[in-house]
């Protein structure tokens, strides 16, 4: 089996052999990933002065099928998108959506407070807000006499 390119893994697409136009003039073929591979989500990551924000489109994913793990330097998103209805391959005109398991790990550019992280989903857009840890902040401890 041929190794898939970075773009194919990122989008969940697979390489398709050319199809004769006379046989299939305006249809795309069904593409399934091999059982042991997952698609990767596309993401946006940016920062504000106080936090790092990660966003991903997860439309069609049930909340119970979505797993978000946060450590001090990494975020991992896992889940699966399932078809609501099976359609015969010959009935498709276009079949480009990715269905199945996906995951994405993001190495963060700065340490964050994983205990204070928040994740919300609105209209299929997952937003994760990760408060930055301020390493420059100095805390003074008062020494107690025992």
Report the pLDDT value the prediction gives residue 26, as an integer from 0 to 100.
46
Give the tens place of pLDDT for each residue, 16-65. 555 444 444 444 444 454 556 788 889 999 999 999 999 999 988 999 99
Q: Would residue 38 count as lying in a domain?
A: yes
Domain assignment present for residue 110? The answer is yes
pLDDT the model gives residue 118: 94
137: confidence class by pLDDT, cuts 50, 70, 90: low
Instruction: Count up the domains in the chain and report the number.
Output: 1
Separation of alpha carbons 132 and 121, rounded Å: 21
Which range of residues forms the domain containing residue 110?
6-12+25-131
CA distance 22 to 26: 10
- Cβ atoms of 100 and 32 within 8 Å: the answer is yes
* C-beta separation of 28 from 94 below 8 A: yes
Query: How confident is the model at residue 2, as a pLDDT?
Result: 65
CATH of the domain at 118: 2.60.40.790
Residues 6+ apart with CB under 8 A from 141: none
Model confidence band, residue 116 (pLDDT cutoffs 50, 70, 90):
very high
Residue 65 lies in a domain: yes
Residue 36's pLDDT is: 60
What residues contact 48, with CB distance under 8 A and at least 6 apart? none
- Please, what is the average pLDDT of the chain? 80
Is it the case that residue 81 has pLDDT exceeding 90? Answer: no
Using CA atoms, how far apart are residues 34 and 45, in angstroms rounded to an integer?
A: 29
Question: 26-54 burial string, b = 16+ CB within 10 Å, else e?
Answer: eeeeebebeeeebbbbeeebeeeeebbeb
Name the more confident of 32 and 128.
Answer: 128
Query: How far apart (Å, rounded) are the C-alpha atoms in residues 104 and 145?
Result: 50
Q: What is the pLDDT of residue 143?
A: 81
Classify residue 144: in a domain, yes or no: no
More confident residue, 56 or 138: 56
């Amino acid at each position: 089996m041929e190794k898939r390119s970075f773009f194919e893994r990122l989008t969940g697409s697979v390489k398709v052999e050319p199809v004769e136009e006379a046989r299939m003039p305006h249809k795309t073929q069904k593409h399934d990933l091999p059982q042991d591979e997952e698609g990767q989500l596309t993401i946006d990551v940016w920062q504000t002065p106080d936090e790092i924000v990660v966003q991903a489109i997860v439309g069609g994913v049930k909340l119970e099928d979505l797993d978000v793990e946060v450590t001090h330097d990494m975020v991992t998103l896992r889940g699966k998108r399932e078809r609501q209805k099976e359609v015969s391959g010959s009935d498709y005109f276009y079949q480009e959506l990715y269905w199945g398991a996906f995951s994405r790990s993001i190495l963060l550019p700065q340490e964050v407070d994983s205990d204070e992280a928040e994740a919300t989903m609105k209209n299929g857009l997952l937003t994760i807000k990760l408060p930055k840890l301020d390493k420059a902040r100095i805390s003074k401890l008062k020494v107690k006499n025992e």
